[in-house]
C-alpha cells in the first residue's frame, strides 16, 4: 500500500526536488545522513521490513483508515461529493503514527536504543512516545514552551508513555525552535540516538523517508475512491505546515494530471500581515534546517517568526517537495486564516459529528472557496489529518467569546 511512483523519480541522489532540498549540514555530520539513507533504502526495499511495518499499522494503529462520504457536508454545498480520509481514526489520533512506526522500526534495525523528536501540536511527540514504548526505546521530546502551554493534554500523554519532554524557551518557543533544539541535540549525540523527524522537512534523506512512510495515506485513498466511485477524484485537499500529511495523500495521485492537488497553509491573521505561517505564499527561497526551501524572512533575509493558531502548522518554512510542486505548477497552495479554520472546525463538528484537529480544519475551510467553482459531479477528497480533542477546549472558548461579542454588538 506504500507508493513507489514510477514516473515521479524525485528526489535526486543528492536529495533535491528541483532546486529545493539538499543536505546542508556540517561536513563532519554528512556521514550520519548518508548512512541513514543507505539503511532506509535497504529497509524500504526489504519485503520483510515492509510486512512488519504494515502489520503494525494494521493491527496496532488501525489501518486502513476509512474514506468516508460526508453526506451532510456535501448537502451543505449542494453539489459534488465530498469524501474525508479519516487519519484522525489512527491510534494516537493523527497521521503521525504512520511515519513514526516506520522510523522507529528503522531505528531498531540500525541498533539504536534511544529516539528523539521535535513536536508542535504534540501529535508527533505522542506518536513517537507511543512507538518508543511499544518497541522498548528510550524517548526524549523537544517542544516549545508556548506549545506546551496550548497543548497540555498531549504533553501529559507523552509523559504517561514514559517520554522526557524538554521545554524549549528560546525564540518564539514554538515548532521552529523545537526543531532547532532537537537538531542541536542530535548533532552532539548522533552516535547515541536516532532522530525521528516528524514532517517532510530537514536535510536529505528525511523528506524522502517521511514521504515514503506517509504514502500509505495516498495508496489507500486511491484504492478506496476507485472502489467507491470507479474513478479518480477531481480534487485532493490537505493542510500543510512542514507537509507530511499533504505529501502522504498527494503521493497517491501525483502522477494523475487530472487530479488537482491543493495544500492549505496557515494564514494566521492574514497572509499580508506579520502574523502568518504562509511560507509558500509569502516566503522567499533560502536555507533553513539543512535544506533549501521557501521561508518567511525579515528585511535582512533571515528567517523570521511565524504565527498560527495551529501549533502543528506554526512553522516558517515548508518541505522541499511541496516547494517544487508549487513552482512546477503540479500543486496549488493557498493560505487559510485562523478565523476561517475555526469556523470550519465548528462546521464539520456540527454537520458530521467529526471534530477535526485545528490543523485539518484549514483544509476543510477551503471548501468555502472551492465548492462554488466545482461542477455538479466533481469528487473532492479532504485529508482529515488528526482529531480535535487537543483543540476542543481552546476553540470552544474562542467561539463562545466571539458569539458573546456578536450578541453584545446586536444589543448596542
Q: List active site positions.
A: 96, 118, 385
CA angle 179, 183, 185 (to 5 degrees): 120
Pairing of strands 193-195, 114-119: parallel
Task: Round to whole Å and give the CA distance between 255 and 17.
Answer: 15
CA distance 321 to 375: 29
> What is the enclosing helix (H) or strand (E) of 212?
helix 206-229
Q: Are 284 and 196 in contact (CB under 8 A)?
A: no
Joined together, the cell numbers standing for residue 23 give 543536505
Strands 138-144 and 164-168: parallel
Please state the φ and ψ torsions of residue 108, each to the nearest 5 degrees: -60, -40
The answer to whether the CB of 277 falls within 8 A of the CB of 296 is yes
Q: b/e map of 248-273 (b: 16 or more CB within 10 Å)?
A: bbbbbbbeeeebbbbbbbbbbeebee
**Nearest-10 crossing angle of helices 389-410, 338-352:** 100
User: Nearest 5 degrees, angle CA 276-CA 280-CA 282?
Assistant: 55
- Contacts of 177 by beta carbon, 8 Å cutoff, 6+ apart: 144, 168, 170, 171
Contacts of 303 (CB under 8 A, 6+ apart): 176, 286, 288, 295, 296, 297, 316, 317
Q: Which residue in this structure is represented by grid cell 494564514?
A: 267
Amino acid at each position: 500500500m506504500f507508493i513507489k511512483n514510477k514516473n515521479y523519480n524525485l528526489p535526486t541522489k543528492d536529495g533535491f526536488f528541483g532546486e529545493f532540498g539538499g543536505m546542508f549540514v556540517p561536513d563532519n555530520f554528512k556521514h550520519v545522513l548518508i548512512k541513514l539513507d543507505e539503511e532506509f533504502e535497504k529497509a524500504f526495499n526489504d519485503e520483510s521490513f515492509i510486512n512488519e511495518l504494515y502489520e503494525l499499522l494494521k493491527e496496532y494503529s488501525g489501518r486502513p483508515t476509512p474514506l468516508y462520504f460526508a453526506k451532510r457536508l456535501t448537502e451543505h454545498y449542494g453539489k459534488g461529493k465530498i469524501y474525508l480520509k479519516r487519519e484522525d481514526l489512527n491510534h494516537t489520533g493523527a497521521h503521525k503514527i504512520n511515519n513514526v512506526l516506520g522510523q522507529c522500526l528503522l531505528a531498531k534495525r540500525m541498533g539504536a536504543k534511544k529516539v528523539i523528536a521535535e513536536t508542535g501540536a504534540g501529535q508527533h511527540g505522542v506518536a513517537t512516545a507511543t512507538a518508543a514504548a511499544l518497541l522498548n526505546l528510550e524517548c526524549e521530546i523537544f517542544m516549545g514552551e508556548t506549545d506546551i502551554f496550548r497543548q497540555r493534554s498531549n504533553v501529559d500523554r507523552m509523559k504517561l508513555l514514559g517520554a522526557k519532554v524538554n521545554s524549549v524557551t528560546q525564540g518564539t518557543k514554538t515548532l521552529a525552535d523545537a526543531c532547532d533544539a532537537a537538531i542541536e541535540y542530535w548533532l552532539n549525540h548522533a552516535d547515541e540516538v536516532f532522530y525521528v523527524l516528524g514532517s517532510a522537512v530537514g536535510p536529505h534523506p528525511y523528506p524522502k523517508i517521511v514521504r515514503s512512510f506517509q504514502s500509505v495515506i495516498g495508496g489507500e485513498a486511491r484504492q478506496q475512491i476507485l472502489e467507491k466511485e470507479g474513478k479518480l477524484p477531481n480534487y485532493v485537499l490537505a493542510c500543510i505546515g512542514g507537509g507530511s500529511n499533504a505529501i502522504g495523500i498527494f503521493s497517491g495521485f501525483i502522477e494523475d494530471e487530472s487530479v488537482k492537488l491543493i495544500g492549505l497553509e496557515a494564514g494566521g491573521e492574514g497572509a499580508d500581515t506579520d502574523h502568518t505561517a504562509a511560507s509558500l505564499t509569502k516566503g522567499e527561497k533560502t536555507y533553513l534546517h539543512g535544506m533549501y526551501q521557501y521561508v518567511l524572512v525579515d528585511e535582512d533575509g533571515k528567517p523570521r517568526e511565524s504565527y498560527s493558531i495551529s501549533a502543528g502548522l506554526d512553522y516558517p518554512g515548508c518541505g522541499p517537495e511541496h516547494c517544487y510542486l508549487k513552482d512546477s505548477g503540479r500543486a496549488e497552495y493557498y493560505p487559510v486564516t485562523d478565523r476561517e479554520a475555526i469556523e470550519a472546525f465548528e462546521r464539520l463538528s456540527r454537520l458530521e459529528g467529526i471534530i477535526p484537529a485545528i490543523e485539518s480544519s484549514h483544509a476543510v475551510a477551503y471548501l468555502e472557496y472551492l465548492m462554488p467553482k466545482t461542477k455538479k459531479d466533481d469528487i473532492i477528497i479532504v485529508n482529515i489529518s488528526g482529531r480535535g480533542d487537543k483543540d476542543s477546549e481552546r476553540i470552544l472558548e474562542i467561539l463562545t467569546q466571539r458569539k458573546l461579542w456578536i450578541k453584545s454588538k446586536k444589543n448596542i
